[in-house]
A and B are shown apart, each in its own frame.
Chain A
Amino acid sequence: MDKKLEPIVKAVQGKFSAKFEEFRNEVHMFVNPDQIVDALTMLRDEHQFELLSALTAVDNYPQTSPRFYVIYQLTSLAQNLSLQLKVPVNGDKPKVPTVTRVYSVANWRERELFDMFGIEVEGHPDPRRILMPDDTEGHPLRRDFPLGYEEPQFTFNFDEIDLRKPYAKE
């Protein structure tokens, strides 16, 4: 771990009793959903993490507890540091609080989070899908989402697929 990062990790650990793990000099800290806004506020205000460089999630399906990790990747341009916060959430309809009041860049990232993983963001100012059309069913980056949208047509199953293929009308 970077020497400059050590006091920061200790401070977060002390305040939120957060576990952390380290992998190839990258530090991940585990924070509960109800603590994430406070943790991000503290890191931004007291430790100069002025940039939320990524906000994404991981689906651990079929593992259910935790089913998802929501990942907040922070960068400190002033100190040349980066830090990941992982928020475990459970179930098919998980929820995390919005962090748009801390980092306004999170607005579209949280919409993408909802669009791709179906993780609801509570208190989001504009909770719509961002990439997929509004009438899409399901959330494509979940692991239980079907991989292929359509079976390829080969000689042996051409007619069968042809029957149910939704051809356009004139």
Chain B
Amino acid sequence: MGIEQKLGNMGVVTTSLETMVNWSRTNAMWPMLFGLACCAIEMMSAQSSSYDMSRFGMELMRASPRQSDLMIVAGRVSKKMGPVLRRLYDQMPEPKWVIAMGDCASCGGVFNNYAIYQGVDEVVPVDVFVAGCPPRPEALIHGVLTIHEKVKGEKFSDLAVK
């Protein structure tokens, strides 16, 4: 099935190193295991057998930031949690990506007050915002696939600047 039929008998694929590396990054992207509020329930649901994020190589939620590539900020970030979140982000090895899951993480949601960050992009640089309160697991998976598209288009020359 799949690639074997197209190969014929050669057993050779020609591609660029960039495509190869990006392909491997997309298909083994490990999210960090942490949730901040009710969005985390939907995130767990997306991991579970009904939605099954492991279809996209994401069956491993790493409990350590040092082993993860993707941070899913699932929930509202309070002012006191902000420095902690930033520290977790700083501990993740490059390359790393961030999904702001749900309205609270994206823009503060209903919590326009003194205690909550109005968008987690004030704390960590965000790649994909997923709307919804909370987003359904399908929406989160769509966000993940959007990140995959982004990663597939990344150039080494751009990453070197970071």
Contacts and interface: CB of A to CB of B under 8 A. Distances in A.
Interface of A: 131-133, 136, 140, 145, 147-150, 152-153, 165-170
B79 A170 contact: no
Interface stretch (B50-58, B60-68, B108-116, B128-136): B108-116
A149 B30 CA distance: 34
Interface stretch (B117-125, B140-148, B149-157): B117-125
A36 to B, nearest CB: 29
A132 B125 contact: no
A132 B122 CA distance: 18
Contacts of B119: 165
A30 B125 CA distance: 53
3 smallest beta-carbon distances between A and B, as pairs: A150-B118, A140-B114, A148-B112
Contact of A168 (B79, B118, B125, B162): B125
B115 A140 contact: yes
Interface in B43-95: 79-80, 83, 86
A168 B112 contact: no
Interface residues of B, number: 19
Q: Is the interface of A mostly helix, strand, loop or mixed?
A: loop
Contacts of A149: 108, 112-114, 116, 118
B107 interface: yes
Given A132-B79, A150-B108, A153-B107, A168 B122 contact: yes
Main SS at interface, chain B: loop
B107 A133 contact: no
A148 B162 contact: no
Interface string B15-55: 00000000000000000000000000000000000000000
29 contacts: A132-B80, A132-B114, A133-B80, A136-B114, A140-B113, A140-B114, A147-B113, A148-B112, A148-B113, A149-B108, A149-B112, A149-B116, A150-B108, A150-B112, A152-B107, A152-B112, A153-B107, A165-B119, A165-B121, A167-B121, A167-B122, A167-B125, A168-B86, A168-B122, A168-B123, A168-B124, A169-B125, A170-B125, A170-B162
Contacts of A166: 122
Contacts of B80: 131-133
Contacts of A147: 113
A170 B119 CA distance: 16
A149 B114 CA distance: 5
Contacts of A150: 108, 112, 118
Contacts of B112: 148-150, 152
Nearest to A148: B112
Contacts of A131: 80, 115
Given A149-B114, A168-B124, 18 more contacts: A131-B115, A132-B80, A132-B114, A133-B79, A133-B83, A136-B79, A140-B113, A140-B114, A140-B115, A147-B113, A149-B118, A152-B112, A153-B107, A165-B122, A166-B122, A167-B122, A167-B125, A170-B125
A136 B108 CA distance: 18
B82 to A, nearest CB: 8
